[in-house]
Amino acid sequence: MVKLVVAGGSGNLGQEIIDVLAATKKHEILLLSRKDAPAEKLAPGVTWVKTNYEDAKQLDEIMRGAHTVLSFITAHMDPGSVAQKGLIDAAVRAGVKRFAPSEWASSKFDHMPWNDGKGVIREYLKELNKNKKVLEYSLFMPGLFTNYLTHPYKSTKHIHPMQTPFDFVNCRLLMVDSDDFCITLTTVTDIAKVVVKAVEYEGEWPVVGGIRGDDLTMEEVIKMGERIRGGTFNVERMKADDLKAGRVKSTWLPTPDHPSFTPEQVTEFTEYMTAGILLGISAGALSVSDEWNQLLPDYRFTKAEEFLAEFWRGKP
């Protein structure tokens, strides 16, 4: 049994991973959140701690005896990356062995400035270990959650079904008009199970920690969608120059109604974010490497079509 600290653990993915960690009944789990604890009972072994990430004394107390820290602090809600830097500093002072910064998506952040804080933390950790290894860490990168392709239906307990340019319910898709490119799709269940295995992994964590459920070209995604939904997809191809200017010339726009965005932000940034996501995908930001696949060769990852075909069966 080890002591795990999960920062930002009240968020969607954090809760999914905590559930799987708690089910092992092997660990003491401290869930850190800026929010008050919920009224419902927590899983055995999980303790909710209302946290001020700028309070170094409180963080030092929390970190005492911790083995691994998993961070899910939302980058655009952490101006200057103050909260996550404070978490890292406290982990170092406490002698924490392993740290997973708040990544959980892309391999790079081209055209997606709302993720710039993740880049700041990458550099912060790299600088920390420049002369000698002070803190073992891994950048967990699973690409796009396959579960988002079940929108508007919920396909997992905690993940909010956010709309993306891959609209399976209406058989339509937005993409950049260029050569074909790849995207990694990984189910949330696979991500959570890999993190549990990583916590128990006895070797050294890889700095770049790609988790690759399935890597598909956009044309393969289109063909997969047509097989699953039983009809032709309406594919609208955008000009990169228009997207770089923040213009999405399409007949529809996906609504990025993630819980971390206010309704006002969703309204204000829908076109801007759609343009950035499409450009980011075309630049390979959501195609990730497979370091954890290689370190866990016996784990069977769920193929996107296997998951989606089963989910969409019988749905309108």
| Amino acid 266: pLDDT | 76
215-240 burial, b for 16+ CB within 10 Å, e for fewer? bbebebbbebbeebbeeebebbebeb
**Tens digit of each residue's pLDDT (9 = 90 or more) over 99-130:** 999 999 999 999 999 999 999 999 999 999 99
**Tens digit of each residue's pLDDT (9 = 90 or more) over 254-269:** 987 777 777 887 788 8
Question: Where do we find the tokens 């770049």?
Answer: 208
| Amino acid 26: pLDDT | 94
The CB-side HSE value for 140 (13 A sphere, CA atoms) comes to 28
Mean of pLDDT values over 263-288: 91
Q: Considering only CA atoms, which of 284, 311, 306 is closest in space to residue 218? A: 284
| Amino acid 258: pLDDT | 74
- Domain(s) labelled CATH 3.40.50.720 in the chain stretch across 3-137
| Amino acid 119: pLDDT | 97
| Amino acid 267: pLDDT | 80
| Amino acid 39: pLDDT | 85
pTM for the whole thing?
Answer: 0.96
| Amino acid 34: pLDDT | 92
| Amino acid 206: pLDDT | 98
In this prediction, residue 310 has a pLDDT band, given cuts at 50, 70 and 90, of very high
| Amino acid 197: pLDDT | 98
Burial class of residue 69, CB neighbours in 10 A (0-12, 13-18, 19+)? buried
Fold of 3-137: Rossmann fold (3.40.50)
Mean of pLDDT values over 278-284: 96
**Tens digit of each residue's pLDDT (9 = 90 or more) over 228-263:** 999 999 999 999 999 999 999 999 999 877 777 778
pLDDT > 90? residue 203: yes
Mean of pLDDT values over 134-155: 98
Question: Where do we find the tokens 């089963």?
Answer: 310
Q: Considering only CA atoms, which of 205, 83, 56 is closest in space to residue 137? A: 205
CATH C-level class of 144-185+214-286+300-312? alpha beta
Please give the single-letter amino acid code of residue 198.
Answer: A
Mean pLDDT of the residues in the chain: 95
**Tens digit of each residue's pLDDT (9 = 90 or more) over 2-59:** 999 999 998 899 999 999 999 999 999 999 999 999 888 899 999 999 999 999 999 9
> How large a percentage of the chain has pLDDT more than 90?
91
Within the chain, strands assigned E span 3-7, 28-33, 46-50, 68-71, 98-100, 136-137, 139-141, 144-145, 166-167, 172-176, 182-186, 208-210, 214-217, 234-238
- Domain(s) labelled CATH 3.90.25 in the chain stretch across 144-185+214-286+300-312
| Amino acid 103: pLDDT | 98
Residues with Cβ within 8 Å of 152's Cβ and at least 6 positions away in sequence, in order, are 161, 163, 169
Residues with Cβ within 8 Å of 241's Cβ and at least 6 positions away in sequence, in order, are none
| Amino acid 256: pLDDT | 78
Question: Where do we find the tokens 């899910």?
Answer: 72
Mean of pLDDT values over 79-90: 96
Question: Where do we find the tokens 């393969």?
Answer: 220
